[in-house]
């Protein structure tokens, strides 16, 4: 069975219990300790930067749009549960949060890209969203422009910092999903299919970003609609948010 969760939307555990059809909501057990097998599918609850209910604080983090994740403390690769987790035929619904006071945000169906035979087991998750564009891990940023013959395919180089779903999440939690240039709302215009959808724009010139750059999601990122995002990058360096606002206000 395929459960319908919306990428980028927040869910409490009770929301998840209701969606998967549990008649009685569990108050403890494996549903609250990282991951749970339910009718052949796995539900993974990933804490990032905070300890879980068991007190363990693993270094779960994103590298671009892949998730580095650690299983339970005593896990080993030959355990039947771990073998099911890395089985590509088993569905893994992955949720993340960075505060115990938050609901979990759904980031998609995971597939084990690689794993390490450590204890706890370390798994690198990539995401396979067959039915929708994932607004959390959307490849948004064109970092440079080139000229091509008509009909040629234009490669898009993606800024890994902007694709980091954790940073993106923090930016949107602060600013919301309203365009910071024109105030456009995808949800208001398109209804349910536009919920949680927005691009995220990087304010710092990409040429200044190196491997050691520490991203501040509040200072460095802004949510913008697709149209404004494209217009911001009509020149190099990109227009500022204020410059584009001025252009809109003074357009005849």
Q: Which residue has the higher pLDDT, 132 or 112?
A: 112
Mean pLDDT confidence for 238-248: 93
Instruction: Look at the domain 10-127 and name its fold.
Output: PUA domain-like (2.30.280)
- Report DSSP letters for 210-246, one per residue: -TT----HHHHEEEE-HHHHHHHTSSSSPPPHHHHHH
- Report DSSP letters for 105-120, one per residue: EEEEEEEEEEEE--SS
Q: Are strands 66-70 and 104-116 parallel, antiparallel or unpaired?
A: unpaired
Give the predicted TM-score (pTM) of the model. 0.60
**152 confidence band (pLDDT: 50, 70, 90):** very low
- State residue 94 phi and psi, 5-degree precision: -110, 130
Average per-residue pLDDT for the chain: 81
Length of the chain: 252
pLDDT at position 59: 85
pLDDT tens string 23-81: 889 888 889 989 999 999 999 999 988 776 655 677 888 876 788 899 998 899 999 99
Distance in angstroms (rounded) separating the CA atoms of residues 83 and 213? 36
Percentage above 70 pLDDT, the chain: 78
Q: Kindly state the helix (H) or strand (E) to which residue 172 belongs, with its residue range.
A: helix 165-175
Distance in angstroms (rounded) separating the CA atoms of residues 46 and 184? 31
Question: Where along the chain do its domains lie?
Answer: 10-127, 160-249
pLDDT at position 129: 66
Q: Kindly state the helix (H) or strand (E) to which residue 193 belongs, with its residue range.
A: none
**157 confidence band (pLDDT: 50, 70, 90):** very low
Mean pLDDT confidence for 8-16: 92
Mean pLDDT confidence for 203-224: 74
Q: Kindly state the helix (H) or strand (E) to which residue 10 belongs, with its residue range.
A: strand 10-11
> Helix or strand or coil: residue 171?
helix
**Token couple for 195:** 């919920």
Q: Are strands 122-127 and 104-116 parallel, antiparallel or unpaired?
A: antiparallel
Least confident of 34-38, 159-163, 193-197: 159-163
> Helix or strand or coil: residue 160?
helix
């Amino acid at each position: 069975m395929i459960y319908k969760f919306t990428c980028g939307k927040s869910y409490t555990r009770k929301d998840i219990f209701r969606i998967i059809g549990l008649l009685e909501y569990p108050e403890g057990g494996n549903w609250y300790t990282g991951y749970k097998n339910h009718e052949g599918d796995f539900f993974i609850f990933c804490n990032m930067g905070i300890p879980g209910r068991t007190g363990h604080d693993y270094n779960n983090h994103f590298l671009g749009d892949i998730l580095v994740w650690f299983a339970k403390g005593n896990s080993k690769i030959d355990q039947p549960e771990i073998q099911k987790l890395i089985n590509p035929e088993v569905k893994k619904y992955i949720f993340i949060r960075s505060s115990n006071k938050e609901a979990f945000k759904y980031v998609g169906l995971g597939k084990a890209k690689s794993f390490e035979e450590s204890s706890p087991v370390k798994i690198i998750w990539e995401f396979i969203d067959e039915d929708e564009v994932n607004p959390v891990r959307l490849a948004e940023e064109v970092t440079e422009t080139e000229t091509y013959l008509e009909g040629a395919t234009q490669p898009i180089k993606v800024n890994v910092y902007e694709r980091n779903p954790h940073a993106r999440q923090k930016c949107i939690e602060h600013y919301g999903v309203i365009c910071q240039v024109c105030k456009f709302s995808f949800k208001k215009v398109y209804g349910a299919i536009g919920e949680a959808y927005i691009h995220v724009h990087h304010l710092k010139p990409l040429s200044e970003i190196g491997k050691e750059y520490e991203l501040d999601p509040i200072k460095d990122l802004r949510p913008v609609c697709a149209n404004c995002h494209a217009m911001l990058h009509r020149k190099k360096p990109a227009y500022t948010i204020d410059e584009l606002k001025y252009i809109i206000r003074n357009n005849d």
